[in-house]
């Protein structure tokens, strides 16, 4: 159950719920029962409620079990953004390692581009 992530979409945002993180504070379904109702399946039904109201409620989740992302990108755009961000992250990590591990014997000709390319190509 630890890695289970459930997603619920209303067209504008996708609500993400991680059951293993939920501490059952009851905050969500006491405050916004038309969206969060543990007696129903699925227990989160965002259709018909203002997105801003849902976001406000999600931001009050004390455990972080609830989160959301806005549905603003197409899948190809998201894949491209992930590739760019992953490449930039890998480069920042290498800079960090080189600055911290100055006594290491770095292989100056090490070509990380294959590793980065493999990683980013396998995201899609
Ligand atoms: S507010 Fe968060 S922690 Fe509380 S019941 Fe809802 S999802 Fe679980």
Cα separation, 108 vs 122, whole angstroms:
26
CA 38–ligand 1 middle distance (angstroms): 10
Q: Cα dist. 36→76, 88, 90, 92 in Å?
A: 31, 38, 39, 40
Q: Cα dist. 58→3, 16, 73 in Å?
A: 20, 9, 21
| Predicted pLDDT of residue 34 | 97
Model confidence at 71: pLDDT above 70: yes
Cα separation, 10 vs 69, whole angstroms:
11
Model confidence at 1: pLDDT above 60: no
* CB of 20 closer than 6 angstroms to any ligand 1 atom: no
Q: Which of 61, 62, 64, 68 to mutate to test the pocket of ligand 1 (most atoms within 8 A of CB)?
A: 61
CA 117–ligand 1 middle distance (angstroms): 39
| Predicted pLDDT of residue 17 | 97
* CB of 85 closer than 6 angstroms to any ligand 1 atom: no
């Amino acid at each position: 159950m630890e890695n289970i992530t459930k997603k619920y979409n209303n067209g504008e945002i996708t609500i993400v719920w991680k059951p293993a993180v939920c501490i059952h504070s009851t905050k969500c379904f006491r405050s916004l029962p038309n969206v969060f109702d543990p007696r129903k399946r699925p227990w989160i039904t965002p259709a018909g409620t203002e997105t801003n109201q849902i976001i406000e409620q999600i931001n009050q989740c004390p455990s972080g079990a609830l989160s959301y992302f806005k549905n603003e990108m197409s899948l190809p755009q998201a894949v491209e953004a992930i590739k760019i961000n992953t490449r930039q992250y890998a480069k920042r990590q290498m800079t960090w390692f080189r600055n911290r591990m100055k006594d290491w014997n770095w292989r100056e000709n090490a070509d990380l581009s294959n590793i980065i390319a493999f990683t980013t190509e396998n995201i899609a």
